Amino acid sequence: SQQGEEDPQALSIQEGENATMNCSYKTSINNLQWYRQNSGRGLVHLILIRSNEREKHSGRLRVTLDTSKKSSSLLITASRAADTASYFCATASLPGAAGNKLTFGGGTRVLVKP
Amino acid sequence: EPEVTQTPSHQVTQMGQEVILRCVPISNHLYFYWYRQILGQKVEFLVSFYNNEISEKSEIFDDQFSVERPDGSNFTLKIRSTKLEDSAMYFCASSDGRTDTQYFGPGTRLTVL
């Protein structure tokens, strides 16, 4: 698989349920970021987790990072219809280098049914 | 809240024509990027730009592509002779360099006929 592969590719849940999606990557990273994209729109930055961090929270979002397994998960708790979007993980590889390019995964399409 | 803007939102062009996609990054940011997303595919890195020069480019960014920061606010991507396979959504992004967070614009949908 390529750098930054999300799993599952698609997820359908009821409003109020939690949504969990995973991302795997292949090379060493400096940090991993999650982005949301509403259909046909731009990418909205959600959260960044550094390679020396294991877990991070932001509102209803919880991100974990396991560098030994080269994987990350994004949990959205108490989902809302407005959370319907595609979610992408993106990795930045160069340690300590500003201006890192991001390598994106294929994304998970999340549908939250009211 | 400051945001990255892009114009036009949609550009339709004939194969072989030149197009210029425009971006206004967040004003105090120092690093600028172009990415593209072909319909149904991943977001792909094209080029990064810092201190008025390209810092990194991908294999996609061949001689047909160029970037420029013509003034203190705009950042442009030029495709000299468009091909059908250049049809994609093109995203501009910027970062302040203190963190790796990149802020993306809404994109320009380029359709090459």
Q: Do A48 and B101 touch (CB under 8 A)?
A: yes
**Is B49 contained in some domain?**
yes
Domain limits at A15? Answer: 5-95+103-113
What's the average pLDDT block by block, 10 residues per block, for chain B (113 residues)?
92 97 94 93 93 91 94 93 96 89 94 97
**Residue A4, pLDDT score:** 64
Q: Is residue B86 one of the residues assigned to a domain?
A: yes
Taking an 8 Å Cβ-Cβ cutoff, which residues of chain A contact chain B? 2, 30-31, 33, 35, 40-45, 48, 88, 90, 92, 98-107
Q: What is the CATH number of the domain that holds B79?
A: 2.60.40.10
pLDDT for the residue numbered A95: 58
Provide the residue type at B27 as one letter: S
pLDDT of residue A3: 55
Cα-based distances in Å from A49 to A11, A17, A65, A94: 23, 24, 7, 14
- From A43, A103, A106, residue closest to B104, measured CB to CB: A43
B17 domain-assigned: yes
Q: Reply yes or no on whether the pLDDT at A85 is more than 60.
A: yes
Instruction: Count the neighbouring beta carbons within 10 Å of the beta carbon of residue A72.
Output: 25
Per-residue pLDDT averaged across A76-91, rounded?
95
Indicate whether A96 pLDDT > 60. Answer: no
pLDDT tens digit string along B87-112? 999 999 999 888 788 999 999 999 99
Q: How many CA atoms lie within 13 A of A44 on its CB side?
A: 11
In a domain, B112, yes or no: no
Q: Is the pLDDT of residue A30 over 90?
A: no
Give the domain range for residue B26. 5-106
- Is the CB of residue A21 less than 8 Å from the CB of residue A8? yes
* pLDDT attached to residue A35: 95
CATH number at residue A86: 2.60.40.10
Count the domains in chain A.
1
For residue B111, is it within any domain?
no
